Structure 1
């Protein structure tokens, strides 16, 4: 693990090379804590001379996390898409009593309602036109990333937000890469229904690719049609992973338009 001074230098270098924009923390006001994500604190705030909301998010102050965050910002320099959360920069809270919050990410504010929760709360009122709209946004956004040779890797209904009835992708596997780079156990268990089945049967380490994202989209299209998490009554464990690798899938929801179900079953 690098010393704090060295880590600060990594961030300063990224700022000086225009990889990351720096914001003075004193210019933020109305800072309001709105939640947590993987124990990281999340705030909603305004910036001086602007009525626009921003999100501030704390992160682990270590060399692995910082390098991955810099990598994420470099990716965002390549992309501009209304359904992908914007990374604006970083701010220094200068809180000596809380090293965890020494630096905070500054991103676009898109609320904190995941697609999973959005469906739970709104499904009964969603028309097929509403579902088509969300599905279309999701597919177009991933297609855009693939055209840029970017693979998302961890698509699921918990890391996609819905803000003002629009899809918002919030990262490109940043949390997963941090865990893998630091040799932590990547939490694949909760993602089993969305994971490319080839990952379960591959003898060699299997790297996610564009087809992996397409598989995940198929599961998400089913979720949009049902309003439920896939295999919600089953344990997300090795047994389920084995069944999925052998072709086990959720059944088509009754009254689903055939052209829609053909998309996620591959019958088009």
Structure 2
């Protein structure tokens, strides 16, 4: 993508700087791998491969909000000759919030959850300030980077997955953006079936569902 040059992202090469380890997730046009740095002793990384259609509607949102402490960081991109956009992102060792809540190994108190909610709200406020609607906020799209049962401020969560994001008050640019997360979707969207109704208020509703989901130990909304 020519747009990458605007954001001063670091450029890397497969085989020289990074390598893939194994696939974590795949869908039509998008594959996510766990990867490793070759010349560094840092921990794992995430490698996100997107074809042109996916990258056109998703990659720009990652770049627009890059740098916020509670939003997944895009560390750079990989040059390639396959017309793919390949991002390198940070790796969340503790998986997503939904998985952590369902894991009996961890008991998360309401005090810890409130700290997480504040971090998520701060990130969502920043996203709204960029005139972006996330469109798919839920515990499954909140990654847990640090979990400390004794000290709330030592916990760290970050929002990820901008696959359904769009600009505020703009209709989707592609027909395949008509997929909506029904259980987290604001009633006015379902009632009118008009995606131009999406605004930051839609994400506020989804935030409320996320809070219910977390407080009910990741029950399905």
Which range, TM-score by smaller chain?
A: 0.7 to 0.9
Indicate how the Cα distance of structure 1 residues 203 and 44 shifts in structure 2: closer, same or farther if over 3 A, else same: closer
Shift in Å, 1:136: 1.7
Question: Which stretch shows the higher mean deviation, 108-117 or 207-216?
Answer: 108-117
Higher relative contact order (CA 8 A, sep 6+): 2
Question: What secondary structure, in the 3-state scheme, does the structure 1 residue paired with 2:132 have?
Answer: coil
* Structure 1 counterpart of 2:169: none
Shift in Å, 1:146: 2.3
Question: Which stretch shows the higher mean deviation, 127-136 or 36-45?
Answer: 36-45
Tell me if structure 2 keeps the 8 A contact 1:83–1:168: yes
Tell me which structure has the larger Cα radius of gyration.
1
**Aligned residue-pair number:** 206
- More helix, by proportion: 1
- TM-score, normalising length from structure 2? 0.77
Indicate how the Cα distance of structure 1 residues 224 and 203 shifts in structure 2: closer, same or farther if over 3 A, else same: closer
* Structure 2 counterpart of 1:57: 48
Structure 2 residues without counterparts, runs of 5 or longer: 148-155, 167-171
In 2, Cα distance between equivalents of 1:66 and 1:223 = 30
Indicate how the Cα distance of structure 1 residues 169 and 47 shifts in structure 2: closer, same or farther if over 3 A, else same: farther
RMSD: 2.9
1:82 aligns with 2:86: no
In 2, Cα distance between equivalents of 1:204 and 1:143 = 23
Structure 1 residues without counterparts, runs of 5 or longer: 1-10, 232-268
In 2, Cα distance between equivalents of 1:122 and 1:208 = 36
Question: What secondary structure, in the 3-state scheme, does the structure 2 residue paired with 1:27 have?
Answer: coil
> Which of 200, 212, 217 is 1:227 aligned to?
217
1:169 aligns with 2:159: yes
- TM-score, normalising length from structure 1? 0.65
